[in-house]
Structure 1
Amino acid sequence: MNDLTAAQRQFGDGPLSRAAAIVYRLLVVELLLLAGVLPGLVPAVLLARDPSNIPFYAACAIPIGPALSAALYAIAAHRPDLTDLHPAADFWRGYRTNLGGVLRIWLPLLAGSAVIAINLAYFTAAGVPGWWAVLLVCVAVGAAAWGGNALVITSLFRFRSRDVARLAAYFLTRTPGATLGVLALLVVAAAITAYASEAVLALAGSVLALLLLRTSRPMTAAIEKEFTR
């Protein structure tokens, strides 16, 4: 029995096995992520890219929050052992566990982002001062960075929604490198959507989730050290 256990550990601990384990997890998580966002992805792809459809795009984006949260949870639960892989179980556990908390963050964020997008889309017709557009863009950027932090925190930790909101805002300046990383990923995601399609972005979902976790590591390490003990 000891020899068998040792052989299994040796099989699951090598560099090739570790690489295969993370690739397998990312592939499974990607498939489940696609399944989770499919109810919104299909109508989003069919919608015309017109400002009048902004509210419908926001509605189509509702499934993204819970699915992305589950992906973050499943990837964070990764162990570099090819003999101990349960990515599908981790994904659905994260989905069920985080659903309520994520929606309490995600829905207000989508609603606020839609209002800002509509104001910017019809800015000329509104006849408001130019500085108002600059202010709206700054608010949108700050909200996007805050939302990225809040999504990671909700996915990995068990805090009340108000505490998630406070921590997400606090770490915008506490870990500026992580904040810039989140914004960079959002720029990449926006560029993929603009120059390709929402479907292409969805196909890169698990990789973007992995990069978001890596980018947010300073924040999650600080939270684990200072707020969970």
Structure 2
Amino acid sequence: MTTLARFSALVYTLFVVEVLFVVAAAPGLVVLLLLAPDGRNVPLFVLCAVPLGPAASAAVYAVHRRGSDLADLHPARTFLRGYRLNVLGVLRVWLPALVVLAVLFVSLVNRTAAGVPGWWFWLLVVLASVILLWSVNAVVISSLYVFRASDVARLAAYFLAHRPGVALGTAGLLLSAGAITVLASEAFVLLPASLFIAALLLVCRPMCADIERRFVA
């Protein structure tokens, strides 16, 4: 019965978090689904991603603090509390990352017109991948812990180098989400968003353990 209760609590939490995540990210997602897949729309794509940062942060917060007791489950309340507590802190690291990614993506999609050499193209791809992985680390850290934005940025970079398994796991999750988006649509990738968050927390567990052991009193 205990195992069944825990599983039921997990399913309920993930369902509620999924719904609230979609609602919180809806302002950007609605516009995103209406945009044509054109390189000239890259700045708009990035702008549509702004609400995803706070929404993902609230989802991370809610899933991380989920309980197993069906009589004491409040995932909606926890999600909203996480959103309220983390929205400003997350935007301080999420917005700069989006700006850098926008510049890189514009260069990548216009590489032919700009005459970008092949080696420079792949350098930009690597740089964009690093920024994306850094931003995921930063969102997780700022969602679960109270640090200054500069400290979040340094910790996110530090763990990219010192916890390569976390970076590798995160890259796998992002590639899976990207593959679903390419093969299906942007809307379909939202369906397992809460499962993605739960998997991300599992991948980031070593990083979180290090932070709690070394940097949290």
Please, what TM-score do these two structures have when normalized by structure 2?
0.98
Counterpart of 1:24 (choices 12, 35, 54) is 12
Query: How much does 1:129 deviate?
Result: 2.4
Partner of 1:114: 102
* Letter matched to residue 164 of structure 1: V
Select the structure of larger CA radius of gyration.
Answer: 1
* Letter matched to residue 42 of structure 1: V
Name the CA distance, whole Å, in 2 between partners of 1:48 and 1:26: 31
Q: Are 1:223 and 2:211 an aligned pair?
A: yes
Map of 1:3-82 to 2, 5 A cutoff? 14-82=2-70
Name the CA distance, whole Å, in 1 between partners of 2:181 and 2:111: 22
| 1:36-80 deviation digits (Å, cap 9, x = unpaired) | 011111110111001011111111111100000000000000121
Name the CA distance, whole Å, in 2 between partners of 1:127 and 1:34: 39
Single out whichever of 17-26 and 134-143 deviates more from structure 2: 134-143
Q: Are 1:195 and 2:179 an aligned pair?
A: no
* 4+ long deviations beyond 3 Å: none
Query: How much does 1:23 deviate?
Result: 0.2
Query: How much does 1:188 deviate?
Result: 1.1
| 1:149-194 deviation digits (Å, cap 9, x = unpaired) | 1010000000000000000000012111111011111111111121
* Letter matched to residue 69 of structure 1: S
Name the CA distance, whole Å, in 2 between partners of 1:188 and 1:207: 12
Percent identity, aligned pairs only?
52
Partner of 1:5: none
Single out whichever of 27-36 and 201-210 deviates more from structure 2: 201-210
Identify unmatched segments of 5+ residues in structure 1.
1-10
Identify unmatched segments of 5+ residues in structure 2.
none
Query: How much does 1:145 deviate?
Result: 1.0
Name the CA distance, whole Å, in 1 between partners of 2:24 and 2:193: 11
Number of aligned residue pairs: 217
Name the CA distance, whole Å, in 1 between partners of 2:35 and 2:102: 16
